Amino acid sequence: MPTTLLAVNNLKKHYPIKKSNTFFTYESLRAVDGITFELYEGETLGIVGESGCGKSTTRRLLLNVEPPTEGTVLYRGKNVVTMNRTDLRRYRRDVQMIYQDPYSSLDPKWRVGNLIAEPLAIHRVGTRAERRKRALELMNLVGLREHQISKFVHEFSGGQRQRIGIARALALNPGIIVADEPVSALDVSIQAQVINLLLDLKERLQLTYVFISHDLSVIRYISDRVIVMYLGKIVEVARNEDFFREPLHPYSKALLKAVPIPDPGVTLELQEIEGEVPSPIDPPRGCAFHPRCPFAMDICRQREPEVVSTDSGRKVKCHLYGEGGDVR
């Protein structure tokens, strides 16, 4: 059995939203609404779903930058919200983040060497000279040239900036990288280079990835397992091969209507699905996907489906596969 690095259990994040035209009444927006999954050591776990389904909120909860409304994230068995300071420090070093747009997260007044070494400075690792040496090492690792160490961010292209972001994320020798739409802002031709760099680094440094994207072709190329989210919930979990051979959930089927090409250079946006994504403030009763589902039955409008685990270790949250449905 692989080691479980992160165990997420019934995790929820509800944001209070002030009702319009009223003074003190709030309603809650269910950004993440009871998700459960594990992250295994050495895997790349892809999280996919349309914009607004709760991917980035999940990322913030994983990284413990905001507290959940309910539920837990366990890191090597310890709750990240209540763990002691020593464990928290270890967690903050071991779990690093790659952003969609490194430009907005990198200070334009800093030279690249200092940007890459900043996490080391924050965690008081090494002397100034040692940090500079480590910055050079990291620049080599991500395919930047040493002479670029004293340049500023605006002197780099989009792909190079993402390399800077990756170098920074690697500075503290993390085990887990959470990447939230890391290639979505890049030209398609550059996306492949950055994804291949991430795959290469994963091998060389034995990393574990949580890779978040709305882009199924990117998810297909990089993920070992796939999680599909819809309106704050997980609707399907499967191994990459199984998922792309035969997605089970009607939502997944709709996403995959056109089979994506397994080449990260070819971007395939999520397919248009009939109807609008409902509001997470007042989600549909029963199964939240039922208003858009071509297979919706009466029960789908009334009762939220349980998560069904199939023999082959897949999970799907859909009445078609529940009691009386065709579970395989």
Query: Could you list the residues that contact ligand ADP (CB under 6 A)?
Result: 15, 29, 31, 49, 51-57, 280
The yes or no reply on residue 184 touching Mg ion (CB under 5 A) is no
Which does residue 159 bind out of Mg ion, ligand ADP, none, counting CB within 5 to 8 angstroms by kind?
none
SS3 174: coil
H-helix or E-strand spanning residue 140: helix 128-141
The CA-atom distances, in angstroms, between 197 and each of 6, 141, 201, 204, 205 are 24, 9, 6, 10, 12
When CB distances are held under 5 to 8 angstroms depending on the partner's kind, the choice from Mg ion, ligand ADP, none that residue 110 binds is: none
- At what angle are helices 158-170 and 128-141 packed, to 10 degrees? 130
HSE-CB of 109 using CA atoms within 13 angstroms: 0
Minimum CB distance to ligand ADP, residue 55 (Å): 3
Nearer to ligand ADP, 55 or 290 (CB): 55
Q: How many residues does the chain have?
A: 328
54 binds, among ligand ADP, Mg ion, none (CB under 5 to 8 A by kind): ligand ADP
Question: 250 is in the binding site of which of ligand ADP, Mg ion, none (Cβ under 5 to 8 A by kind)?
Answer: none
In the complex with ligand ADP, the residue whose CB is nearer, 35 or 116, is 35
Closest to ligand ADP by CB, 29 or 222: 29
Amino acid making up residue 19 = K
Considering the complex, state which of residue 64 and residue 160 has its C-beta at the smaller distance from ligand ADP: 64
x/- binding map, residues 192-211, to Mg ion, per CB under 5 A?
--------------------
60 vs 168, beta carbon nearer Mg ion: 60
CA distances from 225 to 142, 149, 242, 243, 269 (A): 25, 37, 9, 8, 19
Range list of β-strands (E), 145-288: 176-180, 208-213, 225-230, 233-239
- The dihedral through the CA atoms of 163, 168, 174, 177 has a sign that is negative
Of these partners, ligand ADP, Mg ion, none, which one is at the site of residue 29 (CB under 5 to 8 Å by kind)? Answer: ligand ADP
Count of other CB atoms within 10 angstroms of residue 59? 19
Contact 53, 229 (CB under 8 A): yes
Closest approach, Cβ 55 to Mg ion, in A, equals: 5
* Residue 52 interacting partner from Mg ion, ligand ADP, none (CB closer than 5 to 8 Å by kind): ligand ADP
Q: How far is the CB of 181 from ligand ADP (least distance, A)?
A: 8
Instruction: Please identify, using beta-carbon distances, which residue of 9 and 56 lies nearer to Mg ion.
Output: 56
Measure Cα distances from 132 to 118, 170, 174, 175 in Å: 10, 14, 19, 22
Q: Per-residue string for binding with Mg ion, 121-160, x by CB under 5 A?
A: ----------------------------------------
Q: Which is nearer to ligand ADP, 236 or 321 (CB)?
A: 236
Q: For 294, left (φ over 0), alpha (ψ -120 to 50), or beta? A: alpha
Residue 42 interacting entry, from Mg ion, ligand ADP, none, C-beta within 5 to 8 Å by type? none
Helix (H), strand (E) at residue 88 = helix 85-94
Q: How far is the CB of 56 from Mg ion (least distance, A)?
A: 3
Which residues, numbered 56-85, are part of the site for Mg ion (CB under 5 A)?
A: 56
DSSP track, 157-173: -HHHHHHHHHHHHHTT-
Please, which of residues 17-56 interact with Mg ion by CB under 5 A?
55-56
Residue 33 dihedral angles phi and psi, to the nearest 5°:
-135, 65
CB of 4 to ligand ADP, least distance (A): 24
Between 53 and 219, whose beta carbon lies closer to ligand ADP?
53
173 binds, among Mg ion, ligand ADP, none (CB under 5 to 8 A by kind): none
Q: Is 136 left (phi over 0), alpha (psi -120 to 50) or beta?
A: alpha
Question: What are the residues binding Mg ion (CB under 5 A)?
Answer: 55-56
